[in-house]
Amino acid sequence: MNTGTELWLFAVSLGASALGGTLGMASGIFIVPVLTIFGHFDIRSAIGASIVSVIACSCSSAAPFLKGRLTNVRLAIVLETATTAGALTGVLLAGTIPASYLFFIFGMILLLSAQQMLAKRRDPALAPTQPLMGRPTTRRLDSSYPDRALGRDIAYRVELLPMGLMLMYGAGLISALLGIGSGVLKVPAMDTTLRLPIKVSSATSNFMISVTAAASAGAYLVRGYIVAPIAGSVVLGSVVGAILGARVLMSISNDRIRLLFVVVLVALAAQMLLAAFNADLFRGPA
C-alpha cells in the first residue's frame, strides 16, 4: 500500500465522519460502502477498518455527554448484555456468510437509514400517548438528566425493557456483521420501546457503541480482518472528522443536509445491492 492510498483513506474517512457527525450519525455506515465501491477494497477488510473507527468515534465523543449527565450508564450496561450477545452471534455468522449477502444486508440497512432520515424524530418521552402513572421511581435504571433549555432536572422512566433488549440484540448482531455502530437499529429500539428522552437515548446509545463493537473487533483483529495501514488511516480520519462534525453541527441548515443525506444513502444502497448481485457471488465462505 502506498502513501497516496493512505491519504485517500484518511480524507474519505474524515469526510464521511464529519458529514455523519453533523446529523448525529456514525461514520461507519458510509465507510464500508465507500471503501468497497470506490476503493475496491475487500468487504471484510472494509468492515474490519470500520469497526475500529466505530469504537474510536464512540470513545472520542463520549466525554461531554457523560459530564452533562445525559448518559445513563446503568441502563447502558444492562442493554450492553444484549448488544454484545448479538455481536457474538454476528462474529459467528460473519465467518460463514458469503460476501454477496453482506452487500445485500448493507444495502437494506442503508435504505432503512434513508427512511429514518426522512421521518422526523419526535421525543418519545414527551409523547402524550404514554401517561406516566404515579408510581414512584424505585428502579435504579430510572434517572434524570439536566435540561439546559428548561434549566432543571427532568426525571424519566425506562419502559418495556425486555422488548428493548431484544431489539438491542439485533442491533449488536448487525453491528458486528457489517462493522457499523447500528444507531439505525438502536434509535427505534430506544424510541419505541424504552421511550427515553431523545438526548438521553442519543448519549446512551453512543456510549454503548464502543463496547458492542469491541466484542466483535477483538475477534476480527485475531482473524486478520483488520489490516493495519487501512484501518489506521480510516480510524484517524474518522476521529478528526467526528471532532469537526460536532463543531459544525448547529451552523448549517439541518433540513438541507438531511435531504442530501437521503440522496447519498439511497445511491449507496443501490450500489451495494448491485454489488450483492454482481460481485463475489462465487467466492465461498471466508
Q: Which of 5, 24, 39, 60 binds another protein (CB under 8 A)?
A: 60
- Whole-angstrom distance, CA of residue 101 vs CA of residue 84: 22
Cell of 184: 439505525
- Residue 95 or 254 with smaller CB distance to another protein: 95
Three-class secondary structure of residue 155 per DSSP: strand
Size of the site for another protein (CB under 8 A): 53
Selected binder of another protein within 119, 133, 150, 228 (CB under 8 A) = 228
**What character string, x for contact with another protein (CB under 8 A) and - otherwise, covers 85-104?**
x-xx--xx--x---------
Contact between 233 and another protein (CB under 8 A)? yes
Write the burial class of residue 4 (CB in 10 Å: 0-12 exposed, 13-18 middle, 19+ buried): exposed
Stretch that binds another protein, among 106-114, 230-238, 263-271, 272-280 (CB under 8 A): 230-238
Are the C-beta atoms of 47 and 220 separated by less than 8 Å? yes
Taking every pair of C-alpha atoms in the chain, what is the biggest distance, in angstroms?
64
Q: Interface with another protein includes 229 (CB under 8 A)?
A: yes
Residue 138 lies near another protein (rule: CB under 8 A): yes
The nearest distance, CB 268 to another protein, in angstroms, is 25
Residues 180-219 that bind another protein (CB under 8 A): 210-211, 213-219
Closer Cβ to another protein, 37 or 79, answer by number: 79
Q: Which one among 23, 78, 161, 262 touches another protein, defined by CB under 8 A?
A: 78
User: Does 171 help bind another protein (rule: CB under 8 A)?
Assistant: no
Question: Measured in Å, how far apart are the chain's first and last C-alpha atoms?
Answer: 23
165, 82 Cβ separation under 8 angstroms: yes
73 contacts another protein (rule: CB under 8 A): yes
Under 8 Å between Cβ of 26 and 209: yes
What does each C-alpha distance from 13 to 24, 50, 143 come to in angstroms?
Answer: 16, 9, 36
Shortest distance in whole angstroms from residue 217 CB to another protein: 5
**Residue 150 interacts with another protein (CB under 8 A)?**
no
- Give residues with Cβ within 8 angstroms of 151, minimum separation 6: none
Q: Is 80 in the site for another protein (CB under 8 A)?
A: yes
Could you give the C-alpha distances from 7 to 3, 53, 183, 231, in angstroms and in order? 6, 16, 28, 12
Quickly count helices (H) and strands (E) in the chain: 10, 2
**What one-character-per-residue DSSP string does 147-173 give?**
ETTTTEEEEE----HHHHHHHHHHHHH
Name the minimum Å distance from CB 230 to another protein.
Answer: 10
- 244 touches another protein by CB under 8 A: no
Residues in contact with another protein by CB under 8 A are: 3, 6, 52, 55-56, 58-60, 62-64, 66-67, 69, 71, 73-74, 77-78, 80-81, 84-85, 87-88, 91-92, 95, 138, 140, 210-211, 213-224, 226, 228-229, 231-233, 235-236, 239
